[in-house]
């Protein structure tokens, strides 16, 4: 569960977020929509620890994250994808995914050293099996040895998703995941997201996609939450129509 409570962010005179309160229960997929500049990316930056809020708190499973930076939050299981997919271009697809679980040990590092050679080989095998299974789920198994930089944007997005879900995230934040995906890829993306156990926050401009993929929608406008509910009630909300859906 992720609890965003009374969060405000100011950039000089601009209130990017004002008193935003959203609690997403464990396992829920919650869409975040709103016009350009509404504060969606800023909200993701606050949850992932890239931006310190001017006010308010973010709690993960009851734990206040104020003193935990972006790396610490990643270690607690917070994962994110970006509007422009961020992959390691000079690594292969499988190595992009393996990189996500390297810190747990297996390929190297302290944990692997501590369990000794035999345990280390077992961890490494399990890690590779998990990574291969994730590539399969994301429809990119055939690309495992391709360099990520050589892939078109849609496939890079799937690599980024595979890396984000490779080691069972607690919270998954997806920023405009369908831009650059064709219809088939978008459908697969939604299917993969539906299959994860994580709590999911999904920013998306494709309203059809977000309404289909999310059980709940939060609408931001000028940094405030103007609606929060199931897709049908949000779609019919006059304030949402005026601000965004038109
Ligand atoms: N680093 C920054 N410095 C100053 N203002 C910023 C900064 N980042 C964002 N803003 C402002 O904060 C507000 C919210 O921006 P944000 O990028 O979070 O919106 P968004 O909903 O993600 O928009 P989009 O849909 O265009 O990605 C905007 O008015 C933006 O100009």
Residues 6+ apart with CB under 8 A from 213: 29, 31, 190, 193, 194, 202, 204
Contact yes or no for 202/214 (Cβ under 8 A) = yes
pLDDT at 126: 85
Phi, psi values for residue 52, rounded to 5°:
-85, 125
CA 42 / ligand 1 centre spacing (Å)? 6
Q: Is 33 in the pocket of ligand 1 (CB under 6 A)?
A: no
- Beta-ladder partners of 55: 8
pLDDT at 244: 84
Contact yes or no for 149/95 (Cβ under 8 A) = no
Q: Is 149 in the pocket of ligand 1 (CB under 6 A)?
A: no
Tokens 């998954």, located at residue = 172
What is the model's pTM? 0.89
Angle at which helix 153-165 crosses helix 109-137, to 10 degrees, equals 130
| Sign of the alpha-carbon torsion through 80, 84, 90, 92 | positive
pLDDT at 106: 47
Query: For residue 28, what is the DSSP state?
Result: -
pLDDT at 114: 64
Tokens of 82: 């970006």
Assign 97 to helix, strand or coil: helix
Q: Is 39 in the pocket of ligand 1 (CB under 6 A)?
A: yes
Architecture of the domain spanning 1-77+197-246? 3-Layer(aba) Sandwich (3.40)
Q: Which residue's C-alpha comes closest to atom 26 of ligand 1?
A: 36
Residues 6+ apart with CB under 8 A from 30: 22, 24, 199, 200, 201, 202, 214, 215, 216, 217, 218
Fold match between 1-77+197-246 and 78-168? yes
| Sign of the alpha-carbon torsion through 59, 196, 145, 188 | negative
ipTM for the assembly: 0.96
CA 132 / ligand 1 centre spacing (Å)? 37
What is the secondary structure of 136-199 as a DSSP string? HHTT-GGGTTSBGGGS-HHHHHHHHHHHHHTT--SEEEEESTTTT--HHHHHHHHHHHHH--SE
| Residue pLDDT tens, the chain, 246 long | 999 999 999 999 899 999 999 999 999 999 999 999 999 999 999 999 999 999 999 999 999 999 999 999 999 999 999 988 899 999 999 999 998 876 555 455 566 566 666 777 788 888 889 999 999 999 999 999 999 999 999 999 999 999 999 988 999 999 999 988 999 999 999 999 999 999 999 999 999 999 999 999 999 999 999 999 999 999 999 988 888 877
Mutate to test the pocket of ligand 1, among 42, 46, 177 (most ligand atoms within 8 A of CB): 42
CA atoms within 13 A on the CB side of 60: 23
Q: Is 176 in the pocket of ligand 1 (CB under 6 A)?
A: no
- Please name the fold of domain 78-168: Rossmann fold (3.40.50)
Assign 219 to helix, strand or coil: strand
Q: Which residue's C-alpha comes closest to atom 1 of ligand 1?
A: 11
CA 14 / ligand 1 centre spacing (Å)? 9
Break the chain into its structural domains and give their ranges.
Answer: 1-77+197-246, 78-168
């Amino acid at each position: 569960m992720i609890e965003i409570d009374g969060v405000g962010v100011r950039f000089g005179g601009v209130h990017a977020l004002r008193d935003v309160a959203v609690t997403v229960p464990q396992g829920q997929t919650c869409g975040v929509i709103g016009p350009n500049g509404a504060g969606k990316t800023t909200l993701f930056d606050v949850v992932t620890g890239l931006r310190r809020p001017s006010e308010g708190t973010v709690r993960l499973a009851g734990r206040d994250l104020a003193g935990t930076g972006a790396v610490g939050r990643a270690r607690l299981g917070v994962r994110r994808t970006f509007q422009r997919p961020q992959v390691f271009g000079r690594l292969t697809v499988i190595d992009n995914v393996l990189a996500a679980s390297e810190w747990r040990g297996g390929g190297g590092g302290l944990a692997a050293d501590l369990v000794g050679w035999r345990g280390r080989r077992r961890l490494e095998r399990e890690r590779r099996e998990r990574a291969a299974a994730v590539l399969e789920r994301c429809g990119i198994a055939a690309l495992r040895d391709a360099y990520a930089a050589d892939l078109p944007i849609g496939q890079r997005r799937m690599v980024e998703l595979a890396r984000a879900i490779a080691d069972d995230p607690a919270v998954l934040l997806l920023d405009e995941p369908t831009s650059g995906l064709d219809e088939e890829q978008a459908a697969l993306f939604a299917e993969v997201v539906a299959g994860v156990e994580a709590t999911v926050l999904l920013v998306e401009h494709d309203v059809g996609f977000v309404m289909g993929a999310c059980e709940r929608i939060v609408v931001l406008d000028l940094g405030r939450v103007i609606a929060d509910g199931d897709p049908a009630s949000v779609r019919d909300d006059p304030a949402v129509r005026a601000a965004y859906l038109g």
